[in-house]
Chains A and B, each alone.
Chain A
Amino acid sequence: MSPVSRGFLGRRRPVADPSRLPPGQYLETGFPVLSAGPTPHTPLDEWSFLINGEVKEPVSWPWKEFLELPSETITVDIHCVTKWSKFDTHWQGVSVDTLLEHVNSEAAYLTAWSDGGYTTNLPLEHVSDGKAWVAYQYDGEPLHPEHGGPARLLVPHLYFWKSAKWVRGLTFTVDDEPGFWENYGYHNLGDPWKEQRYQGD
């Protein structure tokens, strides 16, 4: 039990549906940017999306072919480990299920990797069956580079560091291999409803 902070009342912001706010989070209306380094700007004619690693045949799509894949519009709540949550964000992108139809793999884990060297690890079961997308539009506009454009991973049921900005590929791995923030002490899975912020949570 936490002791009471003398004189703290809390400026509780009215949240229409508090059941949508995971523990320890507050509602944000802006869209904060958090990145560990400079924003990469890869020209679209040099961009491709690659699925490789423990697969029978790697597969890749250049930008134009990627846009021709069946896409979905997604409206979801997102939750950042730095405590803000944002409701009803609108995205367009390709379901990871659609991408995975093109590869054969027995491996149970994936590492998403990005321009700039960022990586994050995800169990296959957390990116399949309608749980994850590679999104290239936000609010009807091309995804801004600061928010991960041209394309970012979108895994809204996990803390947002798992939704890798500037994503360029998914690598299947046999073992679960911690990614960038996971190596720096952040939780390996990052379920906001279990408040899995840091290792051991």
Chain B
Amino acid sequence: MTGSQSVRLPTTAELTVATPEGVLFRLPLAGPALRLYAMLLDIAIVLAAVNGLGRLVYLVFAKAPGFGVLVITLAEFAIGFAYSALLEGFWNGQTIGKRLFHLRVIDQSGLPLHIEQAWVRNLMRLFDALPLAYLVGGISVLSSPLMQRFGDRVAGTLVVRETPLAVPLDEAWSRQKYNSFLEYPAIALRLRRAATPELASLIQDALRRRNELAPYARRDIYRDLAAYLQSEIAPFPDELIEMLSDEQYLINAAGVLFADQRLQMVRATFR
């Protein structure tokens, strides 16, 4: 299937932006692990670039090796800061590493960041990298609701995740031809009314991740979910339940919850 099938709801922190038109949208924030991978990749790229430049300088300054060292030392120092600052500033918040890991630096307001912000957050790395291996920055990310390191706090920026998305396709439960729950329109409508959005997305997630779950975990989760729905939300008759596996129970429930055309049928039957 397409990539959209494997995309899940953000489980980590998110930024909520309210536009002047009164529209709310959320952007999922990037956690420290992804950011670390992107940074390691960027460091590798910078090292490779400096190394290449070093060879060139060595050739050009063959007669004056001291000045070669001067040039390469200062270039290495400048590239270390400028690589991220310039790329983020002029490439809409992305370095090569961030682009590959689908991360982007943005302004706290949800808009792209300015070049000044890119410079500040990258110069502040000197502080975030303390005392070693970005410990200060890492603690700052973990303790901040917007997952900002100190450089981000000063510059007013944050890093968001941008997993590529496509318009979601039809789900398994909307493709099923017959749903025995719809034989009981009153109980089906009760299920639709009583199920919270959280419960509905829990069922959706459980079904979607069918093949990622270990068999015993799947059995337990499906059994618990079905039992909860049956006892707390909408009790379907026992003679129907006895014929259904827990998984089929959940597929039917999702069909009732998500597939909208069938709602028309339910209404029609009910009338």
Q: Do A and B come from one complex?
A: no
A contacts, CB < 8 Å to B: none
B contacts, CB < 8 Å to A: none
